[in-house]
Structure 1
Amino acid sequence: MNHDKSHTDDTVRGLSWNSLRVLFQTFSSIFVIALLARFLPPADFGLMALAVFVIGFGDLLGTLGMGPAIVQRKELSNQDVSVAQTLSVLIGSIVTVCVCISAHFVALYFEQPMLENMIYILATTLWLSAFGAVYRGLLIRRLDFKSIFLVDFSGYVFGYVLVTITCIFYELGVMSLVYGALAQSILMTCLLIIANRQLLGFSFDVSIAKKLMYFGTGQSLNGAVNYLAANIDTLFIGKFLGPTSLGLYSRASQLMTLPITKLATSISSVMFSSYAQIQTNKPLLKRNYLAVVELTALVIFPILAGFFIGAHWLIVGLFGDNWQDIVVTFQILCIAGLFKTVFNLAGSIIQALGLVYNELLRQCIYLVVLLLGCLFVVSFGVEAVAWVVVLASFYLYVSLNQLVLKLIECDWRLFFQAQKPGFILGLIIIAFGVIFNVLIERFFSAPAELLLTLFIIQCAIVYVGAILWLPSSLIGSMPSQVLQRFSHRLPLSMFNFIAKYSVHSLLRDKV
């Protein structure tokens, strides 16, 4: 029992630091996206999306999953680490060379000559990522998300943001995004080494390599298929509809996935290490997974609901009038986001139990559904492609969680019940959003930036009010549990105010 409590405390601390990292990255990313959209045309973002797709795919193959393999191993020796580092750097070097060779042919395929130089420069980040993969894996294994937060914070602010904005002022155009990404990668790799306080050595042992590569290869292939599936819509739009349409679509997709990639995926990275440490304790696995699903849905479902009903204010307020054409596409992608949020959580528990190839099969079917769907509908435009993403996301939501629920011996009723609070809060956000839209259209006229600010304030008030005053029968006990656990970090007067006016007895009892 004490071991379970200690494990839970370590996990909560990891989630706390990861949540801080997520909040920073989410808000800073929105700010940077909005800023860059004012200075660069949609076509530039389309070119960068194509280059990033090539590099991102290479990145997944380049590390051969050595970072996650280090996290997943129950017992870890120094030789395991050095062999993993050797494999990661070796494969990363090979993949980097292959990507450089393919740059010319990629540029020819998409009929975009500038892509070639962009890929050459960004290929450097592949090798840097491979070199730093095991360092990051060691931090995750120790649940040291404070260090990861500092690494990511520094790399993003002093690498990507600072360099990109400087290059924009020197009128370097799309290359500003390239140089920013390169600077971020260099800085983060250096900081990962510093955070581990050691320079990893290199060695090779066939038996250790086989064990690491069995899990790592499955993890890497699974990630590659998932990455292809997540970007297949980008490929079809870039090839058949051109860089401007791709630039518009990629901005909508990136904005929608921000809360998912920054929160759900980061929670999964914490829980992967946590699940791996308790992989034989099914009751604890079940309890933790349902709690993570409930907490994630409680946060992200209302955000996606706000995105959906306030799409016009969000797009025009952040990006400007030139981006109005993506409003409907953005709303459709928000529906897909509901399914993506939850299936992103399933992967961590499947991988922690070592069943990466079971997940791989489902990811392959997901990829085929997307591939065939996009092939048949791309001629109808980006909105049709977005509906294909919704359909495929629903399939993977059902398929992955069917496997997870079987593994942790849980039924669908408890699984849906865990998502109910988030779904209810989302419906409330939409209801108040409809009222806001009607009132604005009839009685108020102001700049889009001001209306966006008012919409965000309204959503925040509605969300906090619902958390405090809706009964547990509607929103569950998770809000009061979270507030109670972190009550010592809140000012006493604030906690007393929350407890006094909340309907949740857990909080009132603590006053």
Structure 2
Amino acid sequence: MSFRAIVTQLKTLDSPFARNVGWLGGSGAVIRVSRLITTIILARFLSPHDYGLAAVVLTTNEFIRVFARNGIGIRLIQVEEKQLENLAQSAYWLNWAIFIGLFAIQCLTAFPIAWFYRDNNLIVPICGMAFNLLLLPLGMVQAALIQREGRFKAIALTDMLQVCTDNILSAVFAIAGLGMWALVLPKMLVAPIWVYGILKNHSWRPKGQFTTARWGELMRFGRSVLGAELLNTLRANLDYLIVGRFLSIEALGLYYFAFNAGFGVSFGIISSIKSALLPHLCDARSNLVQFRWRYQSSLKTIALVIIPLVLLQSFLAPFYVPLIFGQKWMVAVPILILICLSAIPRPFADSASQLLLAVDKPEIDLVWNLLFTGLFAIGLFIGVHWQSVGVAMAVLLTHCLFLPLFAVWATRYVFKRQKLDQKC
């Protein structure tokens, strides 16, 4: 495709979606630059063992935080306007009940995790990270309402401020010689920034007393969404668990570095696309032509952004890794390239999942995630026999083989069903 054709294609893309992705992607770019600088500093001052310990702490926290993506926010985005206020009140109190429970679970989980990895130094940081969970309910409803209104600029700027502050503190703490804590402590300190930013950008506040009304409705809708998110998080961290347990903490540190240095750039853009796509599609559900056009335009945006970026980064990896991060990380380059290439099919499958959510079919997405997680786990357990490179190869092959099949099937299913519904 010529440069002129690419420019023409970009001009025809749907502007609201492109604008929202632009805000999220722009803030993500700033975040990635700050993270790149931080990663360079961390690579100079931290050992693979430090990286490995931090990976265990952050992975444990991520497994618990997945319950923040429990479908309650998606329900608030989807629900009709006349039901929104009552549902928001119920969602606020339900979130408090959920996150108080999660706080207790994470603290208790610290002890078996330390036993599993044979290192009691993991207990204190895992428990410390749990305190962040008690702040999230303050802004969860408002964050969903901001997305419902399509004001992704507010979300983008809040995320940028929080994560950039996190990255700066990590660099400072690494230079100060804090080791593993250079990655963990900043995340504990910057959590209030997100709460402040979200509350400042939306006027909604809870009214009245504690209520359990409509909790059942929220949990029934959210269970399939939460199930899919749990499986997504399991897949996102299963390779860490396997490398850390069956190889070594040092091998995990090397793998964790390669994953973040390779996939980190693409992950920010993929997350931006996923966040912006659902409200973009929901707004056009009643018009099949507009609904299809928005989805297809979104896929074009994804292809034009992700594919060239990933290929360029993969090609340049052998040159920039030793130059920027240091010669000691050169051994991670093959892992980095394989993980980086696995980013290409991910946003297309994520878009298909958002398409299913937009037409109220979260249970189908859950079934798919169950199937793919099983296939992914089998691939990882086979790949670990060839050390970290084998695990990375398993990540690439499973994503390239199965995600495109799901994306094609889900797209055909939704639009065939929508067409039949309109005829009826």
Fold-level similarity (TM above 0.5): yes
- Counterpart of 2:178 in structure 1 is 172
CA-to-aligned-CA distance 1:419-472 (integer Å, 9 cap, x gap): xxxxxxxxxxxxxxxxxxxxxxxxxxxxxxxxxxxxxxxxxxxxxxxxxxxxxx
Aligned letter for 1:119? I
Q: Secondary structure at the match of 1:363?
A: helix
Q: Is the 8 A contact 2:341 2:396 kept in 1?
A: yes
CA-to-aligned-CA distance 1:230-250 (integer Å, 9 cap, x gap): 211111001111121111111
- Counterpart of 2:97 in structure 1 is 90
Give the counterpart of 1:139 among 128, 133, 146.
Answer: 146
Change in CA separation of 1:215 and 1:34 when aligned onto 2, cut-off 3 Å = farther
Give the counterpart of 1:311 among 298, 309, 317.
Answer: 317
1:171 deviates by: 2.0
Q: Secondary structure at the match of 1:64?
A: coil
Q: Secondary structure at the match of 1:196?
A: coil
Change in CA separation of 1:205 and 1:123 when aligned onto 2, cut-off 3 Å = closer
Aligned letter for 2:269? L
1:338 deviates by: 1.5
CA-to-aligned-CA distance 1:125-183 (integer Å, 9 cap, x gap): 2232344322211111111111112211221233x123323323432211121111112
Q: Secondary structure at the match of 2:344?
A: helix
- Counterpart of 1:213 in structure 2 is 219
Q: Residues 64-463 of structure 1: matches in 2 within 5 Å?
A: 64-75=70-81, 76-158=83-165, 160-201=166-207, 203-206=210-213, 208-393=214-399, 394-409=401-416
Tell me how far apart the structure 1 counterparts of residues 163 and 349 of structure 2 sit (CA, whole Å). 27
Unaligned runs of 5+ in 1: 1-7, 411-511
1:10 deviates by: 4.1
1:329 deviates by: 1.3
Change in CA separation of 1:353 and 1:256 when aligned onto 2, cut-off 3 Å = farther
Tell me how far apart the structure 2 counterparts of residues 255 and 288 of structure 1 sit (CA, whole Å). 32
Q: Secondary structure at the match of 1:279?
A: coil
Tell me how far apart the structure 1 counterparts of residues 80 and 263 of structure 2 sit (CA, whole Å). 32
Structure 1 window deviating more from structure 2 (95-104 vs 278-287): it is 278-287
Q: Is the 8 A contact 2:27 2:160 kept in 1?
A: yes
1:396 deviates by: 2.6
Tell me how far apart the structure 2 counterparts of residues 145 and 331 of structure 1 sit (CA, whole Å). 31
1:409 deviates by: 4.1
CA-to-aligned-CA distance 1:234-293 (integer Å, 9 cap, x gap): 110011111211111112212332243211221121111111122232222221122111
Change in CA separation of 1:58 and 1:131 when aligned onto 2, cut-off 3 Å = farther
Tell me how far apart the structure 2 counterparts of residues 409 and 37 of structure 1 sit (CA, whole Å). 50
Structure 1 window deviating more from structure 2 (234-243 vs 386-395): it is 386-395
Q: Percent identity?
A: 21
Aligned letter for 2:117? F
Aligned letter for 1:261? F
Q: Is the 8 A contact 1:11 1:274 kept in 2?
A: yes
Change in CA separation of 1:320 and 1:33 when aligned onto 2, cut-off 3 Å = same
Change in CA separation of 1:339 and 1:63 when aligned onto 2, cut-off 3 Å = closer
Q: Is the 8 A contact 1:163 1:183 kept in 2?
A: no
Change in CA separation of 1:30 and 1:397 when aligned onto 2, cut-off 3 Å = farther
Aligned letter for 1:360? L
Q: Is the 8 A contact 1:279 1:353 kept in 2?
A: yes
Higher relative contact order (CA 8 A, sep 6+): 2
Q: Is the 8 A contact 1:359 1:400 kept in 2?
A: no
* Matched pairs, number: 401
Change in CA separation of 1:252 and 1:169 when aligned onto 2, cut-off 3 Å = closer
- Counterpart of 2:3 in structure 1 is none
- Counterpart of 2:8 in structure 1 is none
Q: Tell which structure's C-alpha radius of gyration is larger.
A: 1
Q: Is the 8 A contact 1:333 1:386 kept in 2?
A: yes
Q: Is the 8 A contact 1:62 1:93 kept in 2?
A: no
Aligned letter for 2:73? G
Tell me how far apart the structure 2 counterparts of residues 277 and 310 of structure 1 sit (CA, whole Å). 40
Whether 2:62 is the aligned partner of 1:32: answer no
Q: Is the 8 A contact 1:63 1:130 kept in 2?
A: no
Tell me how far apart the structure 1 counterparts of residues 35 and 172 of structure 2 sit (CA, whole Å). 17
CA-to-aligned-CA distance 1:380-426 (integer Å, 9 cap, x gap): 2011111211222131331243112321249xxxxxxxxxxxxxxxx
Q: Is the 8 A contact 2:135 2:195 kept in 1?
A: yes
Aligned letter for 1:16? G
1:64 deviates by: 2.9
Tell me how far apart the structure 2 counterparts of residues 265 and 397 of structure 1 sit (CA, whole Å). 18
Q: Is the 8 A contact 1:64 1:88 kept in 2?
A: no
Q: Secondary structure at the match of 2:32?
A: helix
Change in CA separation of 1:105 and 1:376 when aligned onto 2, cut-off 3 Å = same
Structure 1 window deviating more from structure 2 (257-266 vs 10-19): it is 10-19
TM-score by length of 2: 0.89
Q: CA RMSD in A?
A: 2.0
